[in-house]
């Protein structure tokens, strides 16, 4: 058999397996979209427009601008960008407050035990229930929304940081003590890195929570934002617009999560390696 023949077989095999894995990964999603398209057209319900219509409307809404601005239309700058800025601002605030505070509290066994009941209470207050309070105290501008997002999403970060700080391996702590490493260095070089996996887990949950709070804060007494647009669409019975907003939110949530996981992968590469090692040993 000629080597050329084997090469072609191998190329076919590789192409085939590539197609196969693509089909497995995205096949179901694509099939569902097709089914939805067909069923929506058949049923003709205004509540569930077919995906093609949603896509078309989305393009009109967001991609009908001039080429200088990457074809982005005004509504992107009016609603989407401000929403995202509030979201990231609130979440970043939550991180900046939650991590240092969490480390501070977590360092002391007694303090964290004492503070825990209050934290469990505060984190259990449903975000929406706080909206009226925040509106009355802080008005209806971006400040209120960013604060609400920060206040609501700080808890997973705070609690996870406390937990991560508390559960630093005693062997590691003994080691650095035995080598007479000064306290401030212990914090920075041992406690923080050791707690980092849990902190990142908290940050990820917090991000998802921040997205929810962003939407919620814009469904009440707002003048712009993705949530506002969705609600506006509901009031005006523009179902397709509403669905566009929902799909956009799904995309944002998914992308943010994906980005965060990539970021986490880089920072915590050592953790994956070490855990993988532990699992096999």
Partner 1 sequence: MLAVERFHHAYTPEQLVAANISFDVKAGEIVSIVGPSGCGKTTLLKSLAGLIKPTGGTIRFQGKVVQGVPDGLAIVFQEYGRSLLPWTTVNGNIELPLRYQSITPDECRRRVAESLQAVDLSGFGERYPWQLSGGMQQRVAIARALAYQPKLLLMDEPFASVDAQTRADLEDLVAAVRDQFEITIVLVTHDIDESVYLSDRVIVLSRPPSTVLAQVDIDISRPRDQIKTRAMQQFVEKRSEIAQMIRRPSGSETHP
Partner 2 sequence: MSDLSGAADPRAGFGQARSFAGPYLLSLAATAFRVVLGIFIFFLILELVTRLELVPPIYLPRASTVVRRMVELLQDPKFLSHVVATLYAWGVGLVLATLISVPIGILIGTSELAYKMTSPLIEFMRPIPSVALIPLGILLWGQGFSMKIILVAYAATWPILFNTLYGVHDIDPIAVQTARCFGLKQAAIVRRISLPSAVPFIFTGIRISAAIALIVVIGAELLASADSGIGSYILFVSSNGGQMDSVLAGAAIAGIIGALINSALGLIDRRLFGWRYLGATLS
Q: Which residues bind partner 1 (CB under 8 A)?
A: 169, 171-172, 174-182, 185, 189-190, 193, 196, 270-271, 273-274, 276-278, 281
| 94 contact, one of partner 2, partner 1, none, CB 5-8 Å limit per kind | none
Ramachandran region of residue 70, left (φ > 0), alpha (ψ -120 to 50) or beta? left
Upper half-sphere CA count for residue 223 (Cβ side, 13 Å) = 5
H helical segments located in the chain: 3-43, 51-62, 74-75, 81-107, 109-124, 127-138, 142-166, 170-178, 183-186, 192-218, 226-235, 239-267, 269-280
C-beta closer to partner 1: residue 70 or 171:
171
Dist CA 240 CA 58 (whole Å): 9
64 phi/psi in degrees, rounded to 5 = -105, 25
Q: How far is the CB of 32 from partner 2 (least distance, A)?
A: 7
| 129 contact, one of partner 1, partner 2, none, CB 5-8 Å limit per kind | partner 2
C-beta closer to partner 1: residue 166 or 229:
166
Dist CA 54 CA 75 (whole Å): 16
Under DSSP, is residue 46 helix (H, G, I), strand (E, B) or coil? coil
Q: How far is the CB of 180 from partner 2 (least distance, A)?
A: 15
Dist CA 105 CA 160 (whole Å): 11
| 189 contact, one of partner 1, partner 2, none, CB 5-8 Å limit per kind | partner 1
For residues 107 and 184, the answer to whether their CB atoms sit within 8 Å is no
C-beta closer to partner 2: residue 64 or 255:
255
Cα 199 → chain centroid? 14
C-beta closer to partner 2: residue 189 or 275:
275
| 175 contact, one of partner 1, partner 2, none, CB 5-8 Å limit per kind | partner 1
Q: How far is the CB of 69 from partner 2 (least distance, A)?
A: 26
Binding site for partner 2 (CB under 8 A): 24-29, 32, 47, 109, 112-133, 135-137, 159, 162-163, 166-167, 170-171, 173-174, 198, 201, 208, 211-212, 215-216, 219-220, 227, 230-231, 233-234, 237, 239, 242-243, 245-246, 249-250, 252-254, 256-257
Query: What's the Rg (C-alpha) of the chain?
Result: 25
C-beta closer to partner 1: residue 7 or 276:
276
| 25 contact, one of partner 1, partner 2, none, CB 5-8 Å limit per kind | partner 2
Q: How far is the CB of 145 from partner 2 (least distance, A)?
A: 14
C-beta closer to partner 2: residue 76 or 248:
248
Q: How far is the CB of 123 from partner 2 (least distance, A)?
A: 8
C-beta closer to partner 1: residue 178 or 235:
178
For residue 218, give every residue at least 6 positions away whose Cβ sits within 8 Å of its Cβ, in sequence order, or none. Answer: 83, 145, 224, 225, 226, 227, 228, 231
């Amino acid at each position: 058999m000629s080597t050329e023949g084997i090469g072609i077989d191998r190329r076919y095999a590789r192409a085939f397996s590539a197609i196969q894995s693509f089909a497995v990964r995205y096949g179901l999603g694509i099939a569902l979209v097709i089914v939805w398209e067909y069923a929506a057209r058949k049923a003709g319900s205004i509540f569930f427009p077919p995906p093609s219509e949603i896509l078309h409307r989305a393009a009109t809404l967001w991609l009908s601008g001039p080429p200088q601005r990457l074809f982005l239309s005004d509504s992107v700058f009016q609603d989407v960008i401000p929403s995202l800025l509030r979201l990231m601002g609130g979440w970043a605030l939550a991180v900046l407050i939650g991590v240092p505070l969490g480390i501070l509290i977590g360092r002391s066994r007694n303090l964290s035990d004492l503070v825990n009941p209050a934290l469990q209470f505060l984190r259990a207050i449903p975000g929406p229930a706080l909206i009226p309070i925040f509106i009355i105290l802080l008005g209806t501008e971006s400040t209120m929304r960013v604060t609400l997002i920060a206040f609501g999403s700080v808890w997973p970060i705070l609690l996870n940081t406390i937990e991560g700080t508390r559960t630093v391996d005693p062997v590691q702590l003994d080691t650095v003590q035995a080598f007479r490493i000064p306290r401030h260095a212990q914090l920075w070089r041992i406690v923080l890195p050791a707690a980092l996996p849990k902190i990142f887990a908290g940050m990820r949950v917090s991000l998802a929570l921040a997205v929810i709070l962003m939407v919620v804060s814009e469904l009440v007494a707002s003048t712009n934002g993705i949530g506002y647009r969705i609600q506006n669409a509901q009031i005006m019975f523009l179902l397709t617009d509403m669905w566009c907003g929902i799909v956009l939110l799904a995309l944002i949530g998914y992308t943010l999560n994906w980005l965060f996981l990539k970021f986490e992968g880089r920072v915590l590469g050592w953790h994956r390696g070490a855990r993988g090692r532990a699992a096999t040993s």
